[in-house]
Amino acid sequence: MRPTRIALATILGCSIGAGAACLRADEPAPAPQAERPAERPKAERRSPAQAAAHQLDMLRERQARQPLVPHAKQHESVRKAFRESLRHVRAGTVTVLDGDEQAALGTVVGSDGLVLTKASELRGQPTIRLADGTKHAAAVVGISEEHDLALLKIGRSDLQPVTWAAAEPALGSWLATAGSGELPVAVGVASVATRPLRSRVLLGIALRPEADKAIVDKVFPGSTAAKIGLRPDDVVTRIADREIAAPATVVELLRDRQPGDTVQVAVRRGEETLEFTARLEADGGLPPHRQDRLDRMNTLAGDLSARRGNFPRALQHDTVLKPEECGGPLVNLDGEVVGINIARAGRIESYALTPADIRPLLEEMQSGKHPPDEKLSHLLEGRGIDSRIERQEKMLRAAERAEAAAERNRADAAKALEGMRRKRREWVDRAP
């Protein structure tokens, strides 16, 4: 029994005991009235997606409570072994904030206040917290959507840039993700050589087999297609500015897109031609309970990055990261930065951009070739609002789970009390 349950049961037991002491020894205790939890109003009943989110939260909490065995990669004893490797990188690692919340990590790339970070994790008004604890407002001076990198600048001229490694790490070599502390955030090994990466962007529809047109056969509940209003028997005639001549064209067009892209989808429904605006999501936006087993296993270990594919090239390693821990340096045992973490993509699958791609891109960004979009500040504001909504939803689910646990404890205590009262009545009846 967890400490919270013990404390709650003790309080209930003391209160109940005090009430029972007021009864006469020969007076039978009244049977407590069974109380049923108030039924959740229809408007508040959970949808399948909300129920799946609750179940996923509980599974994650259960997994998080399992103690790490010694010598596991995330165990403190293992991370301590990398303390010296991070000594020269610590000053070049910063935290990117949205208010007081960590949005991402960042990598110092210029003494004149320049920092690279993961662009799609930026939200609100970016603020950078340096290794010395000071906070500074940051301006976005460059964006590479292709690499999902943002170049930030703060008003400091005494930063310590990281040192790039001359070569990519050999497969199987140890790597550490630097954070704001002396120990690494996490450690892992290089698992797959640098390669182009594509993400799976779907609409969430099944097309009618053996049809010569892109006829919607099924719309998966909770998917991107369901959210925008597509229906079975719709004929997809255009996506973005490309006419759809055959079902294969839909797959081909989506292959070149990435999560977060917005496209226009035109369909023919009966005699009407309708247009919809779709914001593409990874895996079609399907909720966890409708994803396949591998997808559910991937999300069980923690949230994945919203943008986790469609990179020109990336190194794969098995470090377990959180989405907000991307954007910082990935370091070898010599303290050299072999890359910038760019995505958490699976249970044991994270990606990093390597210096071979970062350094020429950084030169272009510094020369002004990748300026931020003029609508960026509005976009970041919206992301900040969405992030706060998500945090509040998680807090609400946690409160509901705590309330349900308290109700179970109350019911258990009431049942135990009734059992003891019954025994006391039996004892009284046996009195000589």
DSSP secondary structure code for residue 323 in this structure? G
Contacts of 51 (CB under 8 A, 6+ apart): 289
Helix (H, G, I), strand (E, B) or coil at 227: helix
Identity at 65, one-letter amino acid code: R
Strand 126-129: give its sheet, edge to edge: 135-137, 126-129, 93-98, 101-110, 114-118, 149-153, 139-144
For 151, other C-beta atoms within 10 Å of its C-beta total 25
Distance of CA 39 to the CA centre of its chain: 31
Cβ pair 103, 122 in contact under 8 A:
yes
Position 58 scores a pLDDT of 65
> Cα 296 to chain center, whole Å?
13
Spell out the per-residue pLDDT of the chain, length 432, in tens: 343 333 333 333 333 333 333 333 344 444 444 444 445 554 456 665 566 666 666 666 665 666 665 556 677 777 888 888 898 899 999 999 998 899 999 999 999 999 999 999 999 999 999 999 999 999 999 999 999 999 999 999 999 999 999 999 999 999 999 998 889 999 999 999 999 987 677 788 889 987 889 999 999 887 889 889 999 999 999 999 899 988 888 888 887 777 778 889 999 999 999 999 988 876 655 655 455 554 555 555 678 888 888 899 999 999 999 999 999 999 999 999 999 999 998 888 999 999 999 999 999 999 999 999 989 999 999 989 988 998 898 899 889 888 988 999 999 999 999 999 999 999 999 888
Domains of the chain, start order: 77-198+307-387 (2.40.10.120), 201-288 (2.30.42.10)
The length of the chain, given as a count of residues? 432
Query: Burial, 291: exposed, middle or buried (Cβ in 10 Å; 0-12, 13-18, 19+)?
Result: middle
Does the predicted model carry a pTM greater than 0.85? no
